[in-house]
Amino acid sequence: MSLSALASSIAESPTLSLNETARALREKGESVIHLGGGEPKNKAPRSAAQACAAKLEGGDVKYTPTSGTAGLKQAVARYTEQSYGWSVGPANVIVCDGAKGALFNVLFALVDPGDEVVVLAPYWVSYPEMIKMVRGVPVIVRPPEGGFVPRLEDVAAALGAKTKALIVNSPNNPSGAVYPEELVAGLVRLCEERGIAYISDDIYHKLVFDGRTTPSPYRATDQDPETTKIISINGISKLFGMTGFRIGWAVAPKAMVKVLARIQAQTVSCTSGLLQAAAEGALNGPPADFEALRSSLQANRDVMMRELAAIPRLKVRRPEGTFYCLPDFRAYGADSAALARLLLEKALVVTVPGREFGMEGHLRLSYCTSAEEIREGAARIRWALDPEAPKQMRIGSKTVVRDWL
C-alpha cells in the first residue's frame, strides 16, 4: 500500500513509545524505573467515578451534542471564570478527545498549507508534528543558553507574514518552567498587534508549586470573549490525573467554536458521554481532590531535586510546576538519545531525550511516580554516569558491574 508523503513523515510519539517499552520490560519481570511518564499515579476522583457510573447505570449511552454535553460545557465555563476571571458561556466551549484533540482541531481550523505556527523551545513533542499534519510549518524559537524561557524580542522576530498562531505552554512540559507575567502579557500584545492566534496550552496551569499561580494571558488583553485572539486549551488529564478518560476542551470565541464543532462533527462526531459525565463530576467535585494531587507532586519535586543534587556536574533548574524537570546532562554527553539508551539498557531507567523537545543534551525526568522510584532512579543514573560512584549496583535481583566508563 502506498502511504501519503505527509503520513510517512509523521514521527512516532517518543513518550508513548517509551511507555510501551517500559511496560514490555516490566512484563518480562525486569525492575524498570519509569521516569519518562506523563501521568500521575492517583485514582480518579470519587465524584468523577460516581458521575460516570450513574450515567452508565441510567443506560444513556448515545451520541452527545458534537461540542459536548450542556452540563460539561457549563462546568468548563464556570471553571474558566473561576480560574481566569474570564467570563464565557457554554457556547464558547468545545469538548474534545483530550487536550490533544482540542489542539489538533484548533490547528486544523487556523492553518492553510504553508502557514507558520511559532513554537517555543523547549516544547511538547506533539506540537511540531501536529502542525505538519495540518500542512503547516513549525517555526521554533529557542531560549537563551542555560534558560527555558524565550525572549520576547526573539518571538517577535520569528513572526512573519505567514504566521497564523503562537503556541504557549506555561507551566511548561518538559522544563517545568512558568513564564513570567510580563512575558505572557508581551506575547499576548504581540499576537493582538499582528492579528494572530495565541494558543494557550494550559494543561498544567494549576499544577504549580510553592504557593505560585500561573500568569493568565487573559489578564493582559482588553479584548472581550468574542474578539480575543486567545484560545485556551485544557482538560482533565493533568488537572485530575484522569489521562485515560480522554477529555479536553478549547475555550474560544463563539464563531471559532462553531468551526471547531464542524470539524469535530465530520471526524469523531463527539466524545464519549460516559467520560464527559466523569469530567463534569471531577470539575464539580471538592477542590481537595485536586489539591491532594498538586501537593503530592510538589513533595515529589522536592525529592527529585534533592536526589539530582547528588549527581556531580548535572545542571538542574528547579521546576515551578508540572511534574517534569529537564536537567542539563551535557557534562556526560551531548547526544541525549544515546544517553537515554544507555540509562535504559544498563540501568533500566526510562528517561526522555531532550532532543525530542528541542533541547539536545538534556533529559526529561518525570516525578509523577513514587518517591521511592525517584530515589532509586536517580541513584541508578548516578551509578551509570559518574565514574566516582561505586562500581557495582544492585538492580532488581542482579548485581551489575559498571564496565562502560
Ligand X SMILES: Cc1ncc(COP(=O)(O)O)c(C=O)c1O
Residue with cell 474578539: 227
SS3 state at 60 = coil
Residue 98 or 273 having the CB closest to ligand X: 98
SS3 state at 201 = strand
Label residues 245-256 b or e (16+ Cβ within 10 Å = b): bbbbbbbbbeeb
My answer on whether omega of the bond before 122 falls inside 30° of 0, hence cis, is yes
Phi, psi of 286 (to 5 degrees): -70, 140
Count the alpha carbons within 13 Å of 360 in the hemisphere toward its beta carbon.
Answer: 4
> Which residues are bridge partners to 235 per DSSP?
248
Instruction: Find the shortest distance in angstroms from Cβ 312 to ligand X.
Output: 30
Residue 239 or 379 having the CB closest to ligand X: 239
Which residues are CB-neighbours of 13 under 8 A, at least 6 positions away? 125, 126, 129
Residue 100 or 382 having the CB closest to ligand X: 100
Instruction: Find the shortest distance in angstroms from Cβ 64 to ligand X.
Output: 18
Instruction: Find the shortest distance in angstroms from Cβ 57 to ligand X.
Output: 26
Residue 130 or 395 having the CB closest to ligand X: 130
Q: What is the DSSP letter of 147?
A: -
Instruction: Find the shortest distance in angstroms from Cβ 322 to ligand X.
Output: 8
Residue 243 or 284 having the CB closest to ligand X: 243
Which residues are CB-neighbours of 262 under 8 A, at least 6 positions away? none
Instruction: Find the shortest distance in angstroms from Cβ 75 to ligand X.
Output: 16
Residue 98 or 217 having the CB closest to ligand X: 98
Residue 235 or 377 having the CB closest to ligand X: 235
Label residues 305-316 b or e (16+ Cβ within 10 Å = b): bebbeebeebeb
Instruction: Find the shortest distance in angstroms from Cβ 144 to ligand X.
Output: 22
Instruction: Find the shortest distance in angstroms from Cβ 206 to ligand X.
Output: 14
Residues that bind ligand X (CB under 6 A): 38, 98-100, 124, 169, 173, 201, 203, 235, 237, 243, 248
